[in-house]
């Protein structure tokens, strides 16, 4: 499983776009990049997954450069309810043993 590196914490004001970057220098050819969100006292929740270029859903966008050694999760116009820990995971699809790092603690300020 490829190791990931993320910032420990980030602060943002409400209404701003937030970009969280994850580094995964030893990503393998068959690895996908997956992001999870976790609120206090809750289990993690799947946000988005991608392999290359850009993926967008109703919650977030995921940008992956051509070399795939990093990725950026973009949250548009964050609100207070987006305050959570965000985890970047790298692994092959169907890899049921998800490997979580320490994540990025995002705090949205009014």
Stretch that binds other proteins, among 18-26, 52-60, 73-81, 94-102 (CB under 8 A): 94-102
Nearer to other proteins, 31 or 82 (CB): 31
Q: What tokens were used for 12?
A: 């943002």
7 touching other proteins, by CB under 8 A? no
Cβ contact 33:88 at 8 Å? yes
Q: Single out the residue of 110, 101, 91, 97 nearest to residue 20, CA to CA.
A: 101
Query: 91: closest CA among 11, 24, 42, 7?
Result: 24
The residue count for binding other proteins (CB under 8 A) is 24
Residue number, 16 or 93, with CB nearest to other proteins: 93
- Of the candidates 48, 8, 16, the one whose C-alpha atom is nearest the C-alpha of residue 32 is 48
Q: Cα 24 from chain centroid?
A: 12
Interaction mask 30-69, other proteins, x per CB under 8 A = --x-x------xxxxxx--x--------------------
Q: Which residues bind other proteins (CB under 8 A)?
A: 32, 34, 41-46, 49, 85, 87, 89, 91, 93-103
């Amino acid at each position: 499983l490829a190791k990931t590196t993320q910032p420990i914490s980030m602060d943002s004001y409400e209404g701003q776009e937030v970009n969280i970057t994850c580094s995964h220098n030893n990503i393998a050819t068959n690895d996908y990049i997956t992001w999870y969100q976790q609120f206090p006292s809750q289990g993690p929740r799947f946000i988005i997954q991608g392999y290359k270029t850009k993926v967008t859903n109703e919650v977030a966008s995921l940008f992956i450069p051509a070399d795939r050694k990093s990725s950026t999760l973009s949250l548009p116009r964050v609100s207070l309810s987006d305050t959570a820990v965000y985890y970047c995971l790298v692994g092959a699809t169907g890899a049921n043993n998800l490997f979580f790092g320490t994540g990025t603690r995002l705090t949205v300020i009014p």
